[in-house]
Structure 1
Amino acid sequence: MNILMVGPDSHEKGGIATVIANFQQHYSSEKHQLFFLSSWSNKNKYQTEWRAVRSIRQIIRAKQIDIVHFHVAQKGSFFRKALLSKLVPKRCRVIFHMHASQFDLFYKKARQPLQALIRSTFNQIDHVVVLGENWATFYQTLTDTKVSIIQNAVQVPKSPLYDEKAQTIVTFGRIGKRKGSYDLLQVAARIEPFFPKVKFVLYGDGDVEKVNNQIRTMGLRNVNLGGWVSKEEQAEILKGTLLHFLPSYHEGLPMAILETMAAGVPNLTTDVGDISELIENDVNGIMTSPGDVEMMTDEISSFIRNDDNRRSKYSQNAFRTIESEFSIATYMVRWEAVYESL
């Protein structure tokens, strides 16, 4: 079978682009061949979108496509894929691979006609793939279309990269309210008087200027913004990282958590989305409630002091979790089974 994968350009920033890049680099099958169509890029947004609309039928015909695999988030991403899915010939099977971190809020806030359009779109496709149990339960309330769970995955190094003596706490990904960036600043302010050598660095894009202004307003000397980094740069950063801190309010299954755990770097994160399928509190990382700045401060303080040798325990268990359950090899086998089922 021939499969057309539709989503953002794999060179773009963000978790979905990373997932598509992993398919490009690691998917191999004797039965199926993958082709790729970019439906969004940051630099040439409208040209890329229009090119996808114009060319999707032509590609399906020329490459004799059997399955179209759409990577879908909320808002504009959903509407683009909804339109493109209408252009797919009926002989083809259609998968919506849902990466949205706030699709439940997107749906809840939508007016009734838009909610009806969302439900109709899901009912007209052949398969929905989500990132975990919580999201599966939600999408099953919207559609009778089959919903399957395939959790994200990453390439696993041969051994952990973790340095227990590191003194830098990092965050990778979008910067802003949804990711809890402002809560992070509150935690950093509370940590600084007691652990002045520990630094916080936020790597990514988003509300960079707003967060930078807040850093200056609060007079924080232990927080820096590191910009967006490549995968190669990220690997080097992780060698000097004590903890990955992601205090999000809404998530799917963040690639940043998978990537840092694969390197053996422990995580402090929040119990939202399907993160609980990755992080087991006090086993391979730390879980708190979103917005609980006091608890986050206490947990980070304990982690810095290395109470009960937490660093080593979390690091080893995090690496083993990814190695056994979230490897690229396992991920591709699961996708092979979905394609076969269609």
Structure 2
Amino acid sequence: MKIKKNSGKINFSLASQILFLGIDWKYPKGGVASVEKVYSTIFSPFHFVRTVVDGNSIQKIGIFIEAFIHFMFVMICCPEIKIVHIHGASYASFWRKRIFIYLSKLFRKKVVYHVHGAEFQSFATKHQKVVHLTLKKCDCVIALSESWKNYFESEFFHPCVKVVKNVIESPQINKIKSSQFILLFLGRIGDRKGIFDLLEVLAKNRLLYEGKLQLIFGGDGEVEKAKEYIKQNKLDNIAFYQGWVSGKNKIELLNRADAYVLPSYNEGLPVSILESMSYHLPIISTNVGGIPEIVKDGVNGFIIEPGNKKGLKEAIDHLLFNRELREKMGVASADMVKDHLPDSVKKQLENLYLKLLNDK
């Protein structure tokens, strides 16, 4: 099958053959929804079945029933659909998507399982047999990085594992200067993302950082715990919580920031890091998941061990007190993230789909 060149969108005839399943992307919260939202701009038509939304258990059950009906309608009434591209993760997401993987094969569709979950490895260890059987049903597994690709190949011996870069929107750069060093954190507020390690480092060095550094952080999760920590440790002049950050607010913060920090304990490939790199920001993060493949220690940021608070402080200080270094690292970030911009990811997806469609 051949497609015509189109720098903006996937070719219409190819896009018409793809059905996506995943979390509701129209009000994106989190990396998976952000990826789906960008996909919606490069696929026309964009056939999509939402399988889950943010909400309570009753809402989620209702959406799942709706998704099942919608999916069955497409399978029966839309014979042009040849590939079902499923965005999934671990735990509840896996069990939901497993149903659609098996149904897709019953209708003789090609199945692409796009694994996003940072905790998929620990989940798969607990449910190794069922994960193995489910992945065998998939024609291709998409991994977020080479390290995750190696995991799926070595652990499950899957014959078709492809790395497709997490896609991000093209940046809208309009830098905003500040008198203080702005350190940005965006993600779930909780231990896994390392936000409380970061707050502890700031608290122990409050007198050093006051008047020089501001941490701006946003996300959902253990918000009240974070606010209470800030209050108890007198960080009101250093740490500022912004709520859930998206849209124009996120663009403004990325333009204001001098560096991005995400001291996580486990990850897949964080979209927030990729977005920050596209805005010419140096990165401070950890050697987990696919992060070391996009953040090179000493090149476009600093990589530390999870929980290494001494290393976290040293990385912050290097960037805080050396403008030339952070500007140099920011330029490196922007260059290294090019493969995650829409035109590049579009080509990666086109190649994958064409290969699947040509394989009988």
What TM-score comes out, normalization by structure 2 length?
0.87
SS of 1:239's equivalent in the other structure is: helix
Contact 1:160/1:319, CA 8 A, preserved across alignment: no
Amino acid at match of 1:27: F
The Cα shift of 1:160 comes to 6.8
The Cα shift of 1:106 comes to 1.3
User: In the alignment, which residue of structure 2 is the partner of 1:50?
Assistant: 65
1:115 matches 2:115: no
User: In the alignment, which residue of structure 2 is the partner of 1:319?
Assistant: 334
The Cα shift of 1:216 comes to 2.8
1:156 matches 2:170: yes
> Aligned partners of 1:7, 1:79: CA distance in 2, in Å?
13
Match of 1:274 among 272, 290, 294: 290
Amino acid at match of 1:209: E
1:310 matches 2:322: no
Tell me how large the CA RMSD over aligned residues is.
Answer: 1.8
1:35 matches 2:50: no
User: In the alignment, which residue of structure 1 is the partner of 2:314?
Assistant: 298
The Cα shift of 1:226 comes to 1.1
SS of 2:50's equivalent in the other structure is: strand
> Aligned partners of 1:161, 1:98: CA distance in 2, in Å?
34
Cα–Cα, structure 1 residues 321 and 101, in superposed 2: closer, same or farther, change >3 Å?
A: same
Amino acid at match of 1:254: P
> Aligned partners of 1:184, 1:24: CA distance in 2, in Å?
35
Amino acid at match of 1:123: K
Cα–Cα, structure 1 residues 200 and 268, in superposed 2: closer, same or farther, change >3 Å?
A: same
Contact 1:190/1:297, CA 8 A, preserved across alignment: no
Contact 1:284/1:318, CA 8 A, preserved across alignment: yes
> Aligned partners of 2:353, 2:161: CA distance in 1, in Å?
14
User: In the alignment, which residue of structure 1 is the partner of 2:199?
Assistant: 185
Amino acid at match of 2:146: E
What TM-score comes out, normalization by structure 1 length?
0.92
1:129 matches 2:142: yes
The Cα shift of 1:176 comes to 0.7
Amino acid at match of 1:8: I
How many pairs align? 332
1:9 matches 2:24: yes
1:220 matches 2:232: no
The Cα shift of 1:100 comes to 0.9
Which shows bigger deviation, 3-12 or 156-165? Answer: 156-165
> Aligned partners of 2:328, 2:176: CA distance in 1, in Å?
12
The Cα shift of 1:165 comes to 5.4
Contact 2:218/2:243, CA 8 A, preserved across alignment: yes
SS of 1:273's equivalent in the other structure is: coil
SS of 1:78's equivalent in the other structure is: helix
The Cα shift of 1:328 comes to 1.1
The Cα shift of 1:190 comes to 3.0
Amino acid at match of 1:277: E
Contact 2:28/2:37, CA 8 A, preserved across alignment: no
The Cα shift of 1:163 comes to 4.3
Contact 1:166/1:242, CA 8 A, preserved across alignment: no
> Aligned partners of 1:82, 1:133: CA distance in 2, in Å?
24
Match of 1:22 among 38, 51, 69: 38
> Aligned partners of 1:165, 1:263: CA distance in 2, in Å?
19
